[in-house]
Amino acid sequence: MKKLSLILSVLALTGTALSAQELPWTDTLTAAIKMADQRIERSIDRLSSDMNGIVGTLSPLGEGDPIRWAQHLPGVTTGADGGSAFYVRGGNMGNNLLSLDGVPIYGYSHLLGLTTIIPVSTMERAELAKGGFDGRESNFTAAHLSVTTRTPKKEVGASVALNNFLLGADCEGHISKGLSFLLSARVSPLTWEYRAFRKLLPTRFNEFDNFQAGVGDLYGKIRYDFNGNTFIELAGMGSMDEYAFSQGSDTDKSLGWRNGIVSVRLQNQTANSQTSVLAYINYFNTHQAQDAVYHEAKNHLSLQSELKETALSVDRSRTIGRFILGYGIKGRLAGFSPGQVAAVKNHTSVLLADAYAQAGFLIPDHVSLNAMGRVNYYRQLSDERGRFDPEFSLSAKVNLGSHLLLATSFDRLVQYYHSLEGLPVGWSLDMIVPSEAQVEPETVLQGSIGLQFRFGAHSGSFGGFYKQMDRLVYYKYAQSLFNGGMADWETQVSQGQGTARGLEFLYEYDHDDWHARLSYTLSQTNRYGFEGINDGKPFHARFDRTHVLNVQGMWRHWTLSLILESGHWENGAAMTYYMHTLEDSVWQAQYYSEINNYRMPTVFRLDFGYQFSFATGMVKHELNLGVCNLTNHFNPFMLYFDGKSESWKEMALLPILPNFSYRVRF
Amino acid sequence: MLIILPLASCIRDTELDSGERPQVVVECILTNSPVQTLRLCFTKGASREREPLTQADARLYDVSENKAVGGFLFSDADIWTLRYEPTPGHTYRLEVNVPGYEPVLAEQTMPEIHVRAVYYWPVFGSSDKYEYNSFPLIVYELESLPDFTWVYAMSWDQLSGERRIADNLCTDFPYVDNFNLTGDVYDPQVDTVFQYGLEFHYAKYWPLKGTSMHRKYLRIPYPKTVDKNWLIVSGDMKGYFPYELNKQSQLVNDGVVEDVEEGQGYVVFAAISKDFDAYLMDAIRIQLLQESSDLSSIYLRENIYSNITGGLGIFGARAEQKMVWMNEKSFFEE
């Protein structure tokens, strides 16, 4: 394992990355609405932020990340409070795509969901797209959270950072004319922190002993500019999340996930056109292992899942008068090995290729229209025949005067990689499986309409959406982490439908020292038609939170953030009965009159932060201080029945948690 | 679990009671034996006492012959019995009427099973797989092909003086279900034995080396779709597994065990009806997870499959055959 992580790290450092450039035609906001310097570009379907907006989002790590930022936006609900799970417009977590410079990241969670594997220091911008998708965005059915990295600066610079759980360093600069680089490395001192806490609070950790964490990431990028219009970038990234602990004297457990990405991008951009070629290799691994004693005999369980993907894409766009035309192709070859246990390998190779064409029509200050059509070809290599699936996205924006804009979109989306979702904490342990005989591609048909406005320092949007989801994946044993039965996932997956509808509201005030943002979502999401689940009848999606309110106020260096969400849904209030199995042993079964029949308590969280910076000579210091969950509100994310005390328990992750981050720039 | 945030994860008690009316729970598995057993009970809410169910009228009907078979008689606690042996291939309907409740109904078809065992001694050195001199094997041939066959082994535990299901099993049958893998693989030990003044190296069920171990059961679905209908089985069975050969070195009575003696181990082949199979899959998965040290299993809260209309539980059917097996102990005592 160590060997593998070393290889990935080396690959990451010698690899390559992608562009931070946007196709010019994708931005159809008119000048009356768009503000170049604001932190969030507000659109009904697409929101983006620069690094200041992302880092400024309060989080348990003292500095924000793209997931924390996205969790505060309209149309987005969260999983466990404090975790990195997020759900967009009623979709599952696995229906979201997170990409780094166009390369999918399948295991983006870091530090048990506290942050992402993308170092903050390398990022330039993040964008959350919920509808009206671009032709380059494919293989997801809910949202695309795209992160773009920075172009290395010309001057040599470096920084060292420290926060609650991570130590990091990065550097950048020019090597020679046209050649520049960006490097970042982070490692977590979690094991030492655990040992220190254990000494301070020994009773708190009775259940866990010998805890060890190996958490870190490396990012590297080398860019060569041939001239002002053309560049090539090589980028690589490796991340590791490894956790091990003992339970009692005879049980040792470990779990973790790893990412390795190498990419190369060649891009040419002129005033009227852009051509981009991207190739990447992506490796994602999850693993759980357990050494335990079962009926006085030692048992070793190792569960591994892997995804290896190689892809090549070519995209081109061109502006001709008021028309913006684009087209592209992408091919990927992926090998999946989900649920490897004992002699079971479960290997499947698939080919996913697509071609798209899109067109935009723009009359500045009046109207913009966009249409995209794509054809996907998907085949398991062991099958003789593949399948073709169409996708499309239509969007329009019409100015209604100088302060108001009407926006609408309509999409059909198809997804071929599926997450078997387990614990809602955002850990990247969910198995990812390909479409095959038992699991058909997921599809979504969705539409949205809304108004965007801006009056002086006030701006925002108000709109509604409707989404019809088909062939959603449900795997009811996904929550157990150390389960050899995962090898048999195929026979236990159920597919069904879901609908989601909702209203989204975003308001921002941006004036001098003041910045305030309020986002509110009123929504309803259900699931139905799953064979063997709730008799096929409708039930609440687990994270069907009716109300989601996020308010953030910033005044000079001070930030206060409020989260108020309806509780999510759990299987609760069970009745019990006794049953027998083949050898006549008796056991207690539970019966739930409905799936997700119990609403958990409302989530309330108040976070506080203070940010300031100062310089000493050539050195700049940036310090964030804060407290997460200032009121120490109990926000449970799980229910379980404790057999010892014969009572139901609720579990919450995030108590009051002081945090800090400190960065020194040279 | 939730290892780290754990730095302070918090837990508190909560009150959870659905307040729903208790439901009638039926558990009746038809077997190829002369007495059928029915269990009846009510479900219990979180903060309530369990109510006994002693007043009921439970009857079995043979749908295939359109006639009543008889009524179950209250025996003891929650157990009701009926003297009757179902006919393979016949469909049966169970009707249970509990005062104050809607009738509880379910139907089930009785499967049949025919397994024979063959004594087989792999030829020494005939292939890579048999590079060691293997013990002789008991090979099972599934002569009838039910939708689902479940296999488990009963060992005799000398310490407790009880018969116990063997914890781990494996097979060479390629389509065995992997829902209950333990994570271990079969790694037979090689014994050196001196007989007749000669030295022999014996591997126990050598052809199974490297196959996945299954917890307690082998579930074999749909053997009709495959061309192979024979298999070998091994695992961590303990105790004495007697077998008897005739003069032609064939197993007496095709290896079927009629009368089980104290101290004797055997392997069970059970043909399982489709509904009972679905119930067992759910029940055993959850049971195994509850037995395991996987803390995340406490979050697993799902309903168990039920085919009962108007209530909960299972009306299933199984036909089983006890078969001989062989380990080194029985081999050398033969």
pLDDT of residue B68: 95
Chain B: closest CA distance from residue A580 (Å): 8
Share of chain A above pLDDT 90, in %: 64
- A515 occurs within a structural domain: yes
Whether the predicted pLDDT of B123 surpasses 50 = yes
- A639 occurs within a structural domain: no
pLDDT of residue A196: 85
A472 closest CA partner among A546, A411, A524, A531 = A531
Domain containing A430: what range? 2-156+179-633
Whether the predicted pLDDT of A432 surpasses 80 = yes
- A640 occurs within a structural domain: no
With 0-12 / 13-18 / 19 or more C-beta atoms within 10 angstroms meaning exposed / middle / buried, residue A97 is: buried
pLDDT of residue B191: 67
Q: Mean of the per-residue pLDDT values for chain A?
A: 88
> Can you tell me whether residue A536 is helix, strand or coil?
helix
DSSP category for residue B240 = B
Q: Any CB–CB contact under 8 A between A536 and chain B?
A: no
- A662 occurs within a structural domain: no
pLDDT of residue A552: 94
The per-residue pLDDT for range B245-292, each reduced to its tens digit, is 888 888 999 999 998 888 889 999 999 999 999 999 988 888 887 777
The per-residue pLDDT for range A152-194, each reduced to its tens digit, is 988 899 999 999 889 999 999 998 888 999 999 999 998 888 8
**Phi, psi values for residue A428, rounded to 5°:** -85, 55
Which uninterrupted H or E stretch holds A651? strand A647-652
DSSP category for residue A413 = E
pLDDT of residue B205: 82
Q: Outline where DSSP puts E strands in A199-342.
A: 209-225, 230-247, 251-269, 273-294, 297-320, 323-341
pLDDT of residue A655: 85
With 0-12 / 13-18 / 19 or more C-beta atoms within 10 angstroms meaning exposed / middle / buried, residue A295 is: exposed
DSSP category for residue A439 = B
- A628 occurs within a structural domain: yes
Q: Which of A579, A588, A637 to mutate to probe the B interface, most B CBs <10 Å?
A: A579
Q: What is the ipTM of this complex?
A: 0.85
- Structural domain boundaries in chain B: 24-110, 115-272+319-333
- Range A146-156 average pLDDT: 92
DSSP category for residue A298 = E
The per-residue pLDDT for range A460-512, each reduced to its tens digit, is 999 999 999 999 999 888 878 888 888 888 888 999 999 999 999 999 998 88
Whether the predicted pLDDT of B27 surpasses 70 = yes
Residues B331/B136, Cβ–Cβ less than 8 Å: yes
pLDDT of residue A293: 86
CATH code for position A422: 2.40.170.20
Residues in chain A within 8 Å Cβ distance of B163: none
The per-residue pLDDT for range A533-561, each reduced to its tens digit, is 888 899 999 999 999 999 999 998 999 99
Residues in chain A within 8 Å Cβ distance of B181: 341-342, 344, 484-485, 487-488
pLDDT of residue A205: 65
Structural class in CATH, domain B24-110? mainly beta
A567 closest CA partner among B270, B276, B14, B86 = B14
The per-residue pLDDT for range A106-130, each reduced to its tens digit, is 999 999 888 999 998 999 999 999 9
pLDDT of residue B130: 41
DSSP category for residue B180 = T
Residues B207/B232, Cβ–Cβ less than 8 Å: yes
pLDDT of residue A6: 34
The per-residue pLDDT for range A33-74, each reduced to its tens digit, is 333 334 445 678 999 999 888 888 888 888 889 999 999 999
| Predicted TM-score (pTM) of this structure | 0.89
The per-residue pLDDT for range A623-635, each reduced to its tens digit, is 999 999 999 999 9
Q: Rounded distance, CA A83 to CA A345, Å?
A: 31
Q: Tell me the CA distances in angstroms from A256 to A216, A243, B325, one per residue in order.
A: 12, 6, 42
Share of chain A above pLDDT 70, in %: 93
Lowest mean pLDDT among A210-214, A372-376, A565-569: A210-214
Residues A511/A535, Cβ–Cβ less than 8 Å: no
Question: What is the number of domains present in chain A?
Answer: 1
- A130 occurs within a structural domain: yes
Whether the predicted pLDDT of B193 surpasses 70 = no
User: Are A344 and B178 a contacting pair at CB < 8 A?
Assistant: yes
- Range A239-246 average pLDDT: 93
Q: Any CB–CB contact under 8 A between A209 and chain B?
A: no
Residues in chain B within 8 Å Cβ distance of A480: 289, 294, 296-297, 299-300
Lowest mean pLDDT among A357-366, A377-386, A479-488: A479-488
pLDDT of residue A380: 95
The per-residue pLDDT for range A296-337, each reduced to its tens digit, is 888 899 999 999 999 999 999 999 999 999 999 999 999 999
Chain A: closest CA distance from residue B124 (Å): 26
- Range A235-263 average pLDDT: 92
Chain B: closest CA distance from residue A136 (Å): 37
- A372 occurs within a structural domain: yes
Q: Any CB–CB contact under 8 A between A256 and chain B?
A: no
Q: In sequence order, what are the residues at sequence separation of 6 or more whose Cβ sits closer than 8 angstroms to the Cβ of residue A228?
A: none
pLDDT of residue A17: 29
**Phi, psi values for residue A440, rounded to 5°:** -80, 160
- A326 occurs within a structural domain: yes
pLDDT of residue A652: 86
The per-residue pLDDT for range B84-113, each reduced to its tens digit, is 999 999 999 999 999 999 999 999 999 999
pLDDT of residue B196: 61
pLDDT of residue B201: 59
pLDDT of residue A657: 87
A234 closest CA partner among A20, A492, A15, A407 = A15
Q: Which of residues 298-327 of A touch B (CB under 8 A)?
A: 299-303
Q: Tell me the CA distances in angstroms from A130 to A90, A410, A464, A573, A649, one per residue in order.
A: 11, 11, 12, 35, 36
Residues in chain A within 8 Å Cβ distance of B305: 532
Confidence category of residue B133, pLDDT binned at 50, 70, 90: low
Max avg pLDDT among A11-15, A214-218, A420-424, B140-144: A214-218
